[in-house]
Structure 1
Amino acid sequence: MILNEMNSAASVEDVLALTLEALRDAKERMRPVFGQERVAASAGRFLETLLGNEPRKTGWMRAEAAGDPGPWRQQALLGRGHWDADALRDVVRDHVVEHLGDADAVLVVDETGFLKKGSASCGVGRQYTGSAGKITNCQIGVFAAYVSDKGHAFLDRALYLPKAWTEKPERLAAAHVPGDVTFASKPSLATAMIGRALAADVPFRWVAGDSVYGVSELEMALRRAGKGFVLGVNANHWFHSWRPDIHWSGEAREIIKTLPDETWVRCSAGRGTKGERLYDWLYCPMADLEASEYSGISTGIWTRGLLVRRNPSDGDLAYFTTWCPQGTPLEILVRVEGTRWRIEEGFETAKNEFGLDHNETRSWHGWHRHVSLVMLAYAMMAAVRSQANAMALKKSQLHKRGRSSAGQSRKSAASP
């Protein structure tokens, strides 16, 4: 669970008190989103059930946990109720920034699949999802996660609509898709999320993503915004250097063949469940460019480069395009790339613990409402974890100071 990463010195009483206070705070924050008090109360009970121990967060199970005779209130909240899921998304964003905000934070963009049967659920279709590792009948949601030293939580989300949906107005109407929604690629959805974060003055310095997002559309948006990035690309992605001292031109997989083995550097991409994630890394700075040519925000020389990760156990390679201030150490680029694991952990926790994939609605707004409520539950517990760890660290430091003072007193008493 998300609380598993808490410092062991945090007591159960401390965690419980923080959780109850966080729940009260979350309900107060989201209250203005709902017009009627009964709808707000229903949303509060929904949030409570997401935090419960039920292995599945289905409508009937949520209703039973909330003390309702059936799932009708839950269904009304997600379906027939009149409230704006994007307004709740903004509440989640502000909550995350308040508790986890940091100027050096990383925004991670990625997608996850929601397995579905039939063809009526909004956006469903046969498409590839890494959740199943194959092409299957599912929905795809694109997400942005906020990662800082204080913790990580989801910041934004969007349901991906394949062209099989956007080219059929009758399907869109049946799923209550807003009239202004048209086809948007996954990188376009991610770019829009980053634009919303920038407009809301969310503090972050970097963006990370896998090879789906390492395309010119997202790259150029980040250059204009003055943000660094480490974005995955395919092995055949073309790189061309403009350096006076060395010339590289060709596919990423061909460029690295020209470099000696001692060029690789082993370092950690961050701690995982089994310790440090050690890989071999190779970095090729391709061009030093004046940032002001792309952005009215940042100045100075920035470097466009190729970063490659090699698995020491099997030699598997992964490639990334990078954009960073000139002289940025390799270790920082590796750290940024390593934050991508946080969003994968987030998907697993949100599905296993908070019912992210237990959405039983079929409509556009039903999907966004359910996911936004889950995001709030996740953000709430991420804040609790951060607070509990800070509390435990403070107690530990006070305990060490107490022992040190006691030791000094004993020495003084023993002095002649």
Structure 2
Amino acid sequence: MSGRGTRTSEMRFAAYLEGLASVIGHADRKAPLRDYCVGLMTCAGRKSVEPMAAATAPERTAAQHQSLLHFVGSGTWSDEKVLGKVRAMVLPAIERRGPIEAWIIDDTGFPKQGRHSVGVARQYCGQLGKQDNCQVAVSLSVANHNASLPVAYRLYLPKEWTEDCDRRRKVGISAEAGFQTKPEIALEQLRWACATGLPRGVVLMDAGYGNNSDMRTEITALGLTYVAGLLSSTTVWAPGTGPLPPKPWSGRGRPPKLMRRNRQHQPVAVKTLALGLPAKAWRTITWRQGTNEKLTSRFARVRVRAAHRDYWQSTRRLEEWLLIEWPKGEDQPTKYWLSTLPEDVAFRTLVDMAKLRWRIERDYQDLKQEVGLGHFEGRGWRGFHHHATMCIAAYGFLISERETIPPSGARRTRPIPLARIPADRRPRGSAVADPTSYSKFDRNDAAAARTGARPHPGEMSLLCDQLRLPPRPSFVTQ
């Protein structure tokens, strides 16, 4: 990046921070806001408060530590307003490369020790791939084929937390925050996005959400279409079939209204249906250029009706697309989706939209590896969400700067010089090998599942290195 380009980037960064500061509230929060963002983008290793304080103010680390800790842990500024400003500044950059195409729902886990951090419980952690002690947050991202941005983020609270008044009080959970399942949190985020007027897209979700028939029904009621992952055991009515109509009325009592089944007339599991499809139903489709090769697999699609508890329905459910992936060399199909995209949608478009969900994996990977989303060490509800908001803000700026990145082989500009930290200094939480920094992410790891999931390897790290940040303000607020 040339000196002139670097200066331009510095000006954009300063303007970006001014935009965030305009909604942060009290002017005294401007300095810690800037320093927190700088720390997230430039601090090597663990991005918890103490290492960031040492990196951004080495001559007065103790005072800086208190300033950043108060800002993120106790500050009464609004996450919603800051995220709204991030959207206002970043979405135009994303949409310059194409309109918003998808709203992506997912969750991510953060391994935690002990029982005092807000929301921590023994539950499924995608990062570890098993049940373990962790926190889990649900998010909604808007995306197109070039970029994506988280727009809503909320910690999931297990029942053991919502029903324990003492634990709630200690970590500052508001009285309004009752128990909600992850799909319920996701639906609340979708309703909010509709009410806010965000550019609409197809709702994409994995089987953890897509297998919930109530959620799919609610998404349709919002006027949204979806491509929803399914478990192989999900039942549907095969093409040309459906539940039996209500029994004929005998003339006595109320006329029957509910759909019926009998022994000979039953829905089938999507896996059973897939295994019974003829060879001509399968097509090889390429949906994206990966890092090293085109991403290609075999797919089939058929029109079906969802069957879950339709014997409590008075009318048949509408037909949807069932999309099935069966890669060559596999013994059986590997993935299934239901979609309310139009009946005349092109086959490749249907596949392409189902596969666009990898963008959320990219979000989580970069948010965790590059800006320290999982490195918050506080225990409180407010601090957990404040830290995530700052991570999303830093990530948003990096996204908006991607167009200025030179080819990966170009010479790197020297990063902003940070003061030397003594070699024997070991801030709290900065273990030699941080277990959360370079591990797998989410329940579907992008790097492991698809070697081509990241079209520009190291792109975010390169941008972090090349971004030369403006000098910090001369005043400090503690």
Same fold (TM over 0.5): yes
| 1:275 equivalent in alignment to 2:293 | yes
What is the CA distance between 1:303 and its match in structure 2? 5.1
Amino acid at match of 1:72: Q
What is the CA distance between 1:241 and its match in structure 2? 4.9
User: 1:265-292: CA deviations, max 9, x gaps?
Assistant: 111342333332222111111259xxxx
What is the CA distance between 1:243 and its match in structure 2? 3.8
Distance 2:214 2:34 in 1: 39
| 1:382 equivalent in alignment to 2:392 | no
**Which of 81, 105, 112 is 2:108 aligned to?**
112
What is the CA distance between 1:388 and its match in structure 2? 5.1
Please say if residues 103 and 205 of structure 1, whose CA atoms lie closer than 8 Å, have aligned partners that are also in contact. no
Q: Rate the CA distance shift 1:249–1:18 in 2: closer, same or farther, 3 A.
A: farther
User: 1:231-267: CA deviations, max 9, x gaps?
Assistant: 111111111257479x993111111122112311111
Residue aligning to 1:363: 380
Q: Rate the CA distance shift 1:15–1:327 in 2: closer, same or farther, 3 A.
A: farther
**Which of 144, 165, 173 is 2:169 aligned to?**
173
Please say if residues 110 and 143 of structure 1, whose CA atoms lie closer than 8 Å, have aligned partners that are also in contact. yes
Distance 2:368 2:29 in 1: 25
User: 1:111-143: CA deviations, max 9, x gaps?
Assistant: 111111111110001111111111111100111
User: 1:204-238: CA deviations, max 9, x gaps?
Assistant: 32111110111223312321233221111111111
Q: Which runs of 4+ in 1 moved over 4 A?
A: 11-15, 387-390
TM-score norm. by structure 1 comes to 0.82
What is the CA distance between 1:53 and its match in structure 2? 4.5
**Which of 121, 129, 139 is 1:143 aligned to?**
139
Residue aligning to 2:466: none
User: 1:45-84: CA deviations, max 9, x gaps?
Assistant: 1111111051221211110122142221111011122212
**Which of 57, 68, 79 is 1:85 aligned to?**
79
Please say if residues 151 and 386 of structure 1, whose CA atoms lie closer than 8 Å, have aligned partners that are also in contact. no
What is the CA distance between 1:160 and its match in structure 2? 0.6
Amino acid at match of 1:340: R
Please say if residues 18 and 388 of structure 1, whose CA atoms lie closer than 8 Å, have aligned partners that are also in contact. no
Q: Rate the CA distance shift 1:205–1:115 in 2: closer, same or farther, 3 A.
A: same
Distance 1:18 1:140 in 2: 38
Q: Rate the CA distance shift 1:269–1:15 in 2: closer, same or farther, 3 A.
A: farther
Q: Rate the CA distance shift 1:193–1:120 in 2: closer, same or farther, 3 A.
A: same
| 1:94 equivalent in alignment to 2:88 | yes
TM-score norm. by structure 2 comes to 0.72
Please say if residues 230 and 323 of structure 1, whose CA atoms lie closer than 8 Å, have aligned partners that are also in contact. yes
SS in 1 for 2:154: strand
Larger CA deviation: 24-33 vs 247-256: 247-256
Amino acid at match of 1:23: F
**Which of 198, 202, 226 is 2:198 aligned to?**
202
| 1:308 equivalent in alignment to 2:324 | yes
Amino acid at match of 2:273: I
Please say if residues 238 and 267 of structure 2, whose CA atoms lie closer than 8 Å, have aligned partners that are also in contact. yes
* Unaligned stretches of 5+ residues in structure 2: 243-264, 307-317, 408-478
Which structure shows the higher strand fraction? Answer: 1
Please say if residues 373 and 391 of structure 2, whose CA atoms lie closer than 8 Å, have aligned partners that are also in contact. yes
Which structure shows the higher helix fraction? Answer: 1
Q: Rate the CA distance shift 1:25–1:239 in 2: closer, same or farther, 3 A.
A: farther
Among all aligned residue pairs of Structure 1 and Structure 2, give the percentage whose two residues are the same amino acid: 24
Please say if residues 301 and 322 of structure 2, whose CA atoms lie closer than 8 Å, have aligned partners that are also in contact. yes
SS in 2 for 1:33: coil
Residue aligning to 1:402: none
Distance 1:47 1:174 in 2: 27
Please say if residues 303 and 325 of structure 1, whose CA atoms lie closer than 8 Å, have aligned partners that are also in contact. no
Larger CA deviation: 199-208 vs 95-104: 95-104
Question: RMSD between aligned alpha carbons?
Answer: 2.4
Please say if residues 147 and 359 of structure 2, whose CA atoms lie closer than 8 Å, have aligned partners that are also in contact. no
Distance 2:157 2:350 in 1: 32
Distance 1:319 1:12 in 2: 48
Distance 1:351 1:120 in 2: 22
Equivalent residues, number: 366
Amino acid at match of 2:67: R
Residue aligning to 1:406: none
SS in 2 for 1:51: helix
Residue aligning to 1:22: 12
Please say if residues 356 and 371 of structure 1, whose CA atoms lie closer than 8 Å, have aligned partners that are also in contact. yes
Distance 1:139 1:15 in 2: 40
